[in-house]
Chain A
Amino acid sequence: MDFSINKETRMIKESVRKYLSRKVNYTTVTDIMSGEDGYSKDIWKDMCQLGWTGLIYDECYGGTNGNFFELFTIFEEIGRVQLPSPLFCSVLVSALLIYEGGDESIKMSTLPHLIRGETIYTSALMDEFGQYDYKWPSLEANQDNDVIVLNGARTMVPYAAIADEIIVCGNLQGKNPTLFRVDPRAAGVSLTLLETLSNEKRYKVDLKNVKLCRSKIIGQIGSGHDYIGSVFDKAIVCKCAEMLGGLEYIVDATVAYAKDRHQFGKPIGSLQAVQHHCATMATYLEGSRMITCQAASMLSEGKRCPKEIAMAKAYISQAYKASTWLSHQIHGGLGFTSEYPIHLYYKHAKVAELEFGSGWFHKQKVASLMGF
């Protein structure tokens, strides 16, 4: 057992944190959220140039062949400051789907642009009910000679409006799941901006007789089963990284507030009830760090770890959410205003809890891996 972070990872962590503390504060985030694109083009450019986007990809695609734990660390820092950006949807989920599912020609034609940030991809993985239906996709894909026709609806799709392509999973004439690349500007595609608890722009995507040519199929027809699960594993763990960063901020900010805020002639941090809430939050943080870093570390070593991933997501979903509730208690009225950043984390904790499988789902997974 070794709980130390190696030098390279620490350097990456420090440089990412330094950059973000210079460029991102609460106003930055709220400005981004109220802007039309939902991300800062300047910061995105920097992120690409600093190598954050290419971290886990091969050099031949413009990546730096780094390791997954380093990417986990970057998402942790991003979660800490709640920076909205297409990093998760484009560089992690979509690029990985292409990387693991696609053949060499599509990888060479899409990944370098994506990693340089010249193109932005997103993936529409949820059906209207919010279910990840990639195992039995509800999206219908019918083949008519060389043309594929897609029909169906997707929801909570991040950054659909600015995406160059949207990756969807369809049920190609009763065969196994197949991934397709859809142009959001194509005929039959309609995007509806949703108001959600997420700090990212999220859309409902309706596909009505959307025509695609066969070249828009990613990889083999019906091969989705082979790799979507593995991409999800990495997505879940990086989501946990965001949550871990958010939880770190919440604990720090709440303790700082409790030391500062005076009532009854003393700091409220001297009151035992407040101290115990903070101790509970600190415990949530330490436990979350252990269980999420375990999954990240094992994935980083290329180990299969379905139980560890499920445990991490289930635990931190509850720990982070509960900590935001306690944070609100301690911050009192001020924390309830839109002037204070606590609400961003409260909302982030909820969205992240529900995405990629909430507690119930992952606990059932743990149970079945225990032999039930």
Chain B
Amino acid sequence: MRFEFTPEQEKFREEVKAFLEKELTSGTFEVHCGPLVEGPSREFSRKMAEKGWIGLTWPKKYGGQGRSYVDKFILMEELLKVRAPISYHFAADRQVGPALIKFGSEWQREFFLPRIIKAKGDINFCLLFSEPNAGSDLVSVTTRAEKDGEYYVVNGQKVWTSGGHQAAYGWLLARTSFDEKIPRHAACSEFIFDMKAPGVTVRPIVDMVGRHSFNEVFIDNVRIHQKFLVGSENEGFKQIMAQVDHERAGLERLMQNYPVYQDLIKISCTDPHLKKDPEFYAWVKNAIADIEIEYNVGRLLCYYTAWLIDQGKQPSSQAALTKAFCTQLEQRINDLATQVLGPSSSIKGTPNSKPPLFINDLYESYLWGPSYTLQGGSVEVLKNIVALRGLKMPR
């Protein structure tokens, strides 16, 4: 076993770090802890595209770099450390591309993959999965895509659509079989959906952080040409199973509040105020070390999942276990930081007025907290997957 990176990988990491440092000093973006990934910034995505950093793992014949998932995680780790604004291409890079490579038609690959890789044209995708009555129970989706000649007519409603108000395209899961005898998991299909089509209404939902980050999407008689059906009709769930590991396994599930964590460490090491009471300070040290240990465990679990994907495995249980572990840790980081700072951490603070002991975005992070263990599959659902798929426990 080897727990270190190769010299080439270290060099790659340094290259990414140097690029990000340059972007930060020139003020392209600021470091913030907010939603899963920050952005969107077409500009930033284009810069990444120029370096070949979108579609890093995709086969060369589709314009990708054909590199390993471990390499991709190195890239992601550095991007996430500074919360670089990658959301414009994030969904396309993480799961749309891989899904099209695996299941897409030749036309879909030729149309979308080069655009995604070069960040040219509209490539910001949102995910149209959840519905008001189909969250954890995704097979219960009722949005319909009914065949009408060469088209599908889509009617329904989606919810929690992050970035739906900005996206050019949606990755849609809809029912295409209405035969009662067919089990529900064999009755859905995946489509690429035009978010700007007439009949699409996007309504903002304000989250408890006070932000508009996700939406309801109402779909009223929207016609999709059949060339936008991805893979086979009624194979939607099978296809999703292959995609969802990529969605779950990433370091973005560990690092959503990474800057908060680093600030906590910095403040705790250096601020004289916190050292005034030696008994309290001993607790602070121990509590942070506890987080540091689990952060390291989580990081290794993420890289292990990447390595498994590189070995050609489909690590559904491992990815689920890793995401559950990492997202729970993210919540504990926020919790500890507020306990270390004390009551003044309840104050949001403004650029002109902050308490003397202050961690940027801790206030927002704490409000984002409940979403960590819910988005992309709740911890409870993930544990079900570990038990049923990983440990083969009976239903």
Contacts and interface: CB of A to CB of B under 8 A. Distances in A.
Interface SS of chain A: helix
Summarize B's interface: helix, strand, loop or mixed. Answer: helix
A259 interface: yes
A275 interface: yes
Contact of A282 (B5, B289, B386): B386
Contact of A4 (B1, B269, B318): B1
Contacts, number: 138
Contacts of A259: 392-394
B3 A298 contact: yes
B394 A267 contact: yes
Contact of B3 (A269, A287, A294, A368): A294
A372 B321 contact: no
Contact of A287 (B286, B301, B383): B301
B79 to A, nearest CB: 18
A363 B286 contact: yes
Contact of B393 (A1, A4, A258, A297): A258
Contacts of B294: 287, 315
A4 B2 CA distance: 8
Contacts of A278: 386-387, 391, 393
Given A287-B297, A363-B289, A1 B386 contact: no
A293 B269 contact: no
Contacts of B150: none
B290 interface: yes
Given A287-B325, A290-B301, A367 B2 contact: no
Given A272-B384, A275-B383, A255 B391 contact: yes
B2 A311 contact: no
A1 B290 CA distance: 24
Nearest to A252: B391
Contact of B387 (A5, A276, A286, A364): A276
A283 interface: yes
Interface of B: 1-5, 70, 265, 268-269, 282, 285-286, 288-290, 292-294, 296-298, 300-301, 303-304, 306-308, 317-318, 321-322, 324-325, 380, 382-384, 386-388, 390-395
Interface of A: 1-5, 69, 255, 258-259, 266-267, 269-270, 272, 274-276, 278-280, 282-283, 286-287, 290-291, 293-294, 296-298, 311, 314-315, 359-360, 363-368, 370-372
Top 8 nearest A-B pairs by Cβ distance?
A275-B387, A363-B289, A279-B386, A290-B300, A279-B383, A367-B285, A366-B289, A287-B297
18 contacts: A1-B70, A2-B307, A3-B304, A255-B391, A255-B393, A267-B394, A270-B393, A270-B394, A282-B391, A287-B300, A291-B296, A297-B1, A314-B289, A364-B289, A367-B289, A367-B292, A368-B285, A370-B265
